[in-house]
Structure formats: structure tokens, C-alpha cells
């Protein structure tokens, strides 16, 4: 990992911060991106001497472009780009507004799309790289009614990820597109949801951000394309779809 340059967006807390610290321990050179300057600076300080904080809003394409430019200026290259920006929502489908849908798409899909499109020319010029999109089990199965718009946005992200992987496969086999699907993670994610929400740290069947970070770090080492962060998650997804719908 000591030869990898990794950009992590949404790095000021939760999974992003835990991943920064894990990769820092493994010797990676890091560009850490988030809007909250003070929190981001603290994470960078905990992530080792090769970590740099870049304050930016990944829902703005120009900020994504600036992150690429600043990282290339400092490090000369990028090896891994982690799209980790995201926000939940607490509102059932019958009450969703246009603004709710727009907010979920901007934060959970467009932030990743901007990162992908801004780093991709660098990766294609080198013929190698890894894009990691942090999705959710709710991007596989819509289990949580109040999270319907979030779940829909993550389904969109999953489709975008799979389509990008297929687009690049033949022309750029050295570029890996990885999807990560965590379940409930013990962070402040729920509290920061649009319209408020339950503290994710109080929910059952959860895992720590540090556990998720280890799985993501291992995916960087192995360059795996599609991973769940909990054992048994894949079987739960297959079980759900095996029980939905009937043949005509």
C-alpha cells in the first residue's frame, strides 16, 4: 500500500475517516476531501504524515476537478479514487417531494459521477487505476421504508457502477471499478439524514466503521470488483430476490 496514492471523499467522519486512518497505517499517500475543514484536518492528522486535507464539496463538479488537480500537483498521480459522499433521508415514498429526490440524487449519485468523470481521463491516460463507489445494502434491497429515496439513489449508483465497469472492460482492462455494499454501520449517518433520523449507532445487527474500512482497504489490495462488508450479506440479497415475483 505504500506505493498507492488514494483520494477519499467524504473523509471527515464515519467510513471515510476510518478508511483514511486504516490506509494511513498501511502507508498510503492520501488526499482527504470533505466540506468540514476542522473535522477533516483532525482526520488528516490521525492518518499519518502522507495525508493531505482538501476542503471541497463533491456535489460541485468544479470542486471535484480541483481535487484531481491538487492531488496530481502534489503526488504526480492517483491510483485509487474512493467515492464515499452520501446522505440518508427519513421520509416514506408517499410523502417525498421533488426537493427530496433532487437532494438524494445530488449527494449520492452526482457526487460520485463528478468524481468518476474528473479522474477518469487520468486513469485512461495511464491505463490503470481503481474507482471505488461506496453503496449500501439498501442499494441492493429496499428494506427500509423511510429510506426509500436513499435506496433508489443507491440503486442508481449500483447501475452506474456496473455500466462503467462494462464500458471500460475491453479498452481499459487495467482500470478496476469496485462497488462496496455495507449494511448498518455504527456512525452518525442516521442523525445526519435529511429530515432527521435514528442514531445508526443504536441499531441492531451493525458493524463498526473500522470493520468496514478494513474490508475496503483489502479490496484495494486485491482489486476486487464487488464486495459486501458483512458475511452472509450476499445470501440475504439472493434470498430476497428469490422470493420476489412469480413467473407468468
In degrees and rounded to multiples of 5, residue 29 shows phi and psi of -90, 130
Residue 205 predicted with pLDDT over 90: no
Q: Which residues contact 179 (CB under 8 A, 6 or more apart)?
A: 132, 133, 135, 158, 161, 162, 225, 226, 227
Residue 117 binned pLDDT confidence (cut-offs 50, 70, 90): very high
Q: What is this structure's pTM? A: 0.96
Which element (helix H / strand E) includes 17? Answer: helix 14-25
Average pLDDT, the chain: 96
Q: For 32-77, what is each residue's pLDDT tens digit?
A: 999 999 999 999 999 999 999 999 999 999 999 999 999 999 999 9
**Mean pLDDT score, 164-188:** 97
Judged by DSSP in three states, 212 sits in helix
pLDDT at 246: 66
- Nearest CA to 220 among 184, 167, 180, 172? 180
In degrees and rounded to multiples of 5, residue 142 shows phi and psi of -80, 70
Supply the residues annotated as catalytic: 150
Kindly give the interhelix angle for 14-25 and 37-46, rounded to the nearest 10 degrees: 30
Q: For 76-101, what is each residue's pLDDT tens digit?
A: 999 999 999 999 999 999 999 999 99
**Mean pLDDT score, 6-35:** 98
Q: For the structural domain made of 5-242, what CATH number should be given?
A: 3.40.50.720
Amino acid at each position: 500500500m505504500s506505493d498507492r496514492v488514494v483520494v477519499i471523499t467524504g473523509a471527515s467522519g464515519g467510513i471515510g475517516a476510518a478508511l483514511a486512518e486504516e490506509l494511513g497505517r498501511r502507508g498510503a499517500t492520501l488526499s482527504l476531501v470533505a466540506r468540514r475543514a476542522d473535522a477533516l484536518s483532525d482526520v488528516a492528522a490521525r492518518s499519518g504524515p502522507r495525508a493531505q486535507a482538501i476542503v471541497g464539496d463533491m456535489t460541485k463538479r468544479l470542486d471535484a476537478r480541483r481535487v484531481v488537480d491538487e492531488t496530481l500537483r502534489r503526488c504526480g498521480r492517483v491510483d485509487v479514487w474512493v467515492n464515499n459522499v452520501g446522505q440518508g433521508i427519513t421520509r416514506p415514498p408517499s410523502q417525498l417531494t421533488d426537493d427530496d429526490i433532487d437532494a438524494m440524487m445530488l449527494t449520492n449519485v452526482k457526487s460520485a459521477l463528478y468524481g468518476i468523470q474528473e479522474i477518469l481521463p487520468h486513469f485512461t491516460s495511464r491505463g490503470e487505476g481503481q474507482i471505488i463507489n461506496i453503496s449500501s445494502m439498501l442499494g441492493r434491497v429496499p428494506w427500509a421504508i423511510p429510506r426509500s429515496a436513499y435506496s433508489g439513489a443507491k440503486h442508481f449508483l449500483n447501475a452506474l457502477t456496473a455500466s462503467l465497469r462494462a464500458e471500460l472492460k475491453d479498452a481499459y482492462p487495467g482500470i478496476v471499478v469496485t462497488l462496496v455494499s455495507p449494511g448498518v454501520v455504527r456512525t452518525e449517518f442516521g442523525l445526519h439524514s435529511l429530515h432527521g433520523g435514528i442514531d445508526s449507532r443504536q441499531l441492531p445487527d451493525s458493524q463498526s466503521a473500522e470493520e468496514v474500512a478494513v474490508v475496503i482497504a483489502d479490496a484495494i489490495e486485491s482489486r476486487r470488483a464487488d464486495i459486501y462488508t458483512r458475511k452472509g450479506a450476499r445470501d440475504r440479497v439472493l434470498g430476497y430476490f428469490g422470493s420476489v415475483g412469480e413467473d407468468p
